[in-house]
Amino acid sequence: MQTALKAEHITVRFGGVVAVNDVSFTLPQGGILGLIGPNGAGKTTLFNAATGFTPMAQGRVAFFGRDVTRQPAYERARQGMGRTFQIERPYESLTVLENALIPAFLHHRRRAQAEKTAMEALEVVGLVDRAHQPASDLNLARLRRLELAKALATKPKVLFLDEIMAGLNPPALAAMIDLLKGLTASGLSILMVEHIMEAIIKLSDHVLVLASGNLIAEGEPQQVIALPQVVEAYLGTDSE
């Protein structure tokens, strides 16, 4: 199986603070890698380092075998790194289609081509019927789907999802899980930061656990979340 993403010895420092300390991982094509840990563990920082949004103190990132360590985020996006953000910020005065259209211009110069790609992305996430409504009309679940559609409109090979399921009610969560499973079935690879363990267990082939910037465990989801060091990282120790 081809390796989609390989990160080696990633270290990120903010002044004297080591936010990510010597973390390595591999994401195979068509796989889902889950990234979990308590708040402040360094998950989003690692995520941002892999996508080029945060500079690294040391480390290497290879994308389908090509070294992209020194490439800026926009170049990595052109090569096929698509991402969502923790807080969705749609252009509320624009339509749903227009929101998906903007990232589609990454690979298309003509509006007709970009609009076709944007509509395809909206169809994948189930928002075609909302295409001509203002983005401000969408509820949380649909806003999350729009965020996903915007990432898909860049034609990614690897999709980076930053807590895209946070706050979803059970039916919306189940629908998002099914949607993401369908994406990987087509060969898309996913790296996701997520706090919802149901999603991690149902989706991830492999899980990394960060705590205070350090990789403290990795492996299959069911096994990893039961490890004492993982339970301690989330819940702390009993002081009595």
Could you please report the per-residue DSSP string of 10-61?
A: EEEEETTEEEEEEEEEEEETT-EEEEE-STTSSHHHHHHHHHTSS--SEEEE
Confidence of residue 112 (pLDDT cuts 50, 70, 90): very high
C-alpha span between 145 and 45 (Å, rounded): 23
Token pair listed for 67: 């070294």
Task: Tell which wins on pLDDT, 88 or 164.
Answer: 164
Confidence category of residue 237, pLDDT binned at 50, 70, 90: low
Domain of residue 119, residue span: 88-155
238 band by pLDDT with thresholds 50, 70 and 90: very low
**Predicted pLDDT of residue 239:** 37
Which among 216, 185, 191 has a CA at the least distance from the CA of 206?
191
114 and 149 together in one domain: yes
Q: How many domains does the chain have?
A: 2
Q: What is the pLDDT of residue 236?
A: 65
Kindly tell me if the per-residue pLDDT of 100 is higher than 70.
yes
pTM: 0.92
Q: Are residues 63 and 93 in the same domain?
A: no
Residue 207's pLDDT band (boundaries 50, 70, 90)? very high
Q: Please, which residues have CB within 8 angstroms of residue 109's CB and are 6 or more apart in sequence?
A: none
Given a cut of 60, is residue 16 above it in pLDDT? yes
Same domain, 144 and 164: no
Lowest-pLDDT range, 18-27, 80-89, 112-121, 145-154? 80-89
Residues 92, 67, single domain; the answer is: no
User: What's the CATH code of the domain at 193?
Assistant: 3.40.50.300
Comparison of pLDDT for 87 and 208, the residue scoring more: 208
Question: Considering 155, 184, 204, which residue would you say is the last residue of a domain?
Answer: 155
Provide the mean pLDDT of the chain: 93
